[in-house]
A and B are shown apart, each in its own frame.
Chain A
Amino acid sequence: MENNTQGATGAGPDTGGKFIVSSSPHFLTRDSIPGIMHSVVLAMVPALAASVYFFGLRALLAVAVCVGASLLTEYAMEKIRDKPLTLHDGSAIITGVLLAFTLPPNFPVFGFILGSAFAIGVGKQLFGGLGFNIFNPALLGRAFLMATYPVLTTTWVEPRTVARAVDAVSAATPLAMMKFEGKLTPLMDLFLGNVAGSMGETSVLAILIGGLYLRYKGYINWKLPLGYLGSMAFFGGIFWLSNPAKYPSPLFHLMAGGAMLGAWFMVTDMVTSPVTPLGQWIFAVCAGLLAVVIRLFGGLPEGVMYSILFMNAFVPLLNKHTRPRVFGEGAKAD
């Protein structure tokens, strides 16, 4: 109950001394979809700043193109479907920014547009718009781009802060180096973001600032990021303890690749995560386990995207079977 009443109006409306009997809800919140969405956009500013710092203005261009294409697709789809326009609610902006964050800096501009159009068009509007989508639209857009341009989505460059002689140097991400060459990256570089990788995923520090801000605002349920990161650290830790020479440490798991961005901005997506506490634990812990399994034993170096998309598919089931029993309801009543 405490969670639901945050920002509640507190005292009821002035009833002029009358006792009014009405049906629920009795507490109203000042939170609105645009309010929450704009806070999320604000929370992504540190990560955006970090991506511009490490990868140059190309990162800003990527975000601008993705947001523009997302808004345009949302507008076009809602026009075709004769639905009210929801551009102002900011959800398409978030999808655009998140999609740009998960792509390599040197990705072609047409790819940004294609991914955004797929994310909003197929991932969100075909399911019925905001609130009805089964999968996280940004991740679905990235999965589509991964299948469409398998080479371009896995070609990385060094951040420009690394001293070098030529313009752009192709490089391996910390996860790919760990998987294919057995090399570990210094944790400090991972924490600050001074490594090759997707634009908005490299800086753990910047993402943490945004994530904790959202937690402070009460828009993130702490179970989801904690369950996801905790599960990655736990299961990653088991393998690390069993063979420290072969498997990376839990800290490496948490700071490399998309773990932080996924945990704070994608696992916590209000539409595509379960609503019950038990369901949220199952969702987050299973997704974390899957990410570790894909990273250590799968064909891909990174498993965050598929782990979240995979668990997204289970959300309706989790919601159905973890529903708390209503007070007074019989044990077997269903």
Chain B
Amino acid sequence: MADGTHSLWYEFKKGLWQDIPPFRLVLGTCPTLAVTNSVINGISMGLATLFVLLGSNIIISAVRRYVAPQVRIAAYVVIIALLVTVADMFLAAKFPAISKALGPYVPLIVVNCIILGRAEAFAQKNPVLPSIMDALGIGIGFTLSLATMGSIRELLGFGSLLKFKILPGAWFEPWIVMILPAGAFLVFGTLIALVNYISAKKAAGTETH
């Protein structure tokens, strides 16, 4: 991992493909499966997580020398809970419809393993600037993943994208399974397989060159 040997650009870029949370790290699968039945829900959830991750990485990285290792998890959870409460209240005040659709999954960001994972694996050992790049990369990667899941499920399950009808109802019968939990698992598994397939192809390509 980064101990000052990697560039800031690398810390940002790794979250977009190499360490993309739901597909490569298989972290944060709970919101990935639960709230991606439409694009807008996926993006909102991703952005809320990005906000909390950015804040927690900055604060934890800044206080990393002052927190006793024995109580660090408790301290991190308090910091994360503060940020989650801010995100939850902001959504409820400004976007009540989205807040209602996401339900308990916004407060549940507090136990999202991506956040605590990045705090443990990165922010507590690195200065603030790389931690910011790490949070941005992972957070944007997570948001894009949720948006991809949401697009596939909304397109097949409702025939629309962002509530805008794409597939005409005349010849397209919506696949109800796609907006059910079973559809989330099917899409998630297919995407993991696809990401692994492309990564394997890329790895094979770099080996032969």
A binding-site residues for B, Cβ under 8 Å: 108, 110-111, 122, 144, 147-150, 152
- Is B173 touching A150 in the complex (CB atoms < 8 A)? no
- Is B182 touching A149 in the complex (CB atoms < 8 A)? no
A150's nearest neighbour on chain B, judged by CB, is: B176
B binding-site residues for A, Cβ under 8 Å: 173, 175-178, 180, 182-183, 186
- Is A108 touching B180 in the complex (CB atoms < 8 A)? no
Shortest Cβ distance from residue A104 to the other chain B in the assembled complex, whole angstroms:
14
9 closest residue pairs by CB, A with B: A147-B177, A148-B177, A148-B175, A150-B176, A147-B182, A148-B176, A149-B173, A147-B180, A147-B176
Shortest Cβ distance from residue B186 to the other chain A in the assembled complex, whole angstroms:
8
What are the residues of chain B within 8 A of A111 when measuring CB–CB?
A: 173
Instruction: Give me 13 A-to-B residue pairs in the complex whose CB atoms sit less than 8 angstroms apart, sorted by A's number.
Output: A108-B173, A110-B173, A111-B173, A122-B186, A144-B177, A147-B176, A147-B177, A147-B180, A147-B183, A148-B176, A149-B173, A149-B175, A150-B176
What are the residues of chain A within 8 A of B183 when measuring CB–CB?
A: 147
Contacts A122-B186, A147-B180, A148-B178 known; 5 new A-B pairs at CB < 8 A: A108-B173, A144-B177, A147-B182, A147-B183, A152-B173
A244 to B173, CA, bound (A): 42
B172's nearest neighbour on chain A, judged by CB, is: A110
A111 to B177, CA, bound (A): 13
What are the residues of chain B within 8 A of A150 when measuring CB–CB?
A: 176
A144 to B182, CA, bound (A): 9
Most chain B CB within a 10 A radius of its CB, from A108, A144, A148, A152? A148
Shortest Cβ distance from residue B195 to the other chain A in the assembled complex, whole angstroms:
16
Most chain A CB within a 10 A radius of its CB, from B176, B177, B186? B177
Shortest Cβ distance from residue A304 to the other chain B in the assembled complex, whole angstroms:
20
A110 to B183, CA, bound (A): 19
Shortest Cβ distance from residue B79 to the other chain A in the assembled complex, whole angstroms:
42
A122 to B182, CA, bound (A): 13
What are the residues of chain A within 8 A of B180 when measuring CB–CB?
A: 147
A110 to B171, CA, bound (A): 10
A110 to B175, CA, bound (A): 12
A111 to B172, CA, bound (A): 11
What are the residues of chain A within 8 A of B178 when measuring CB–CB?
A: 148
What are the residues of chain B within 8 A of A110 when measuring CB–CB?
A: 173
B190's nearest neighbour on chain A, judged by CB, is: A122
A108's nearest neighbour on chain B, judged by CB, is: B173
A80's nearest neighbour on chain B, judged by CB, is: B197
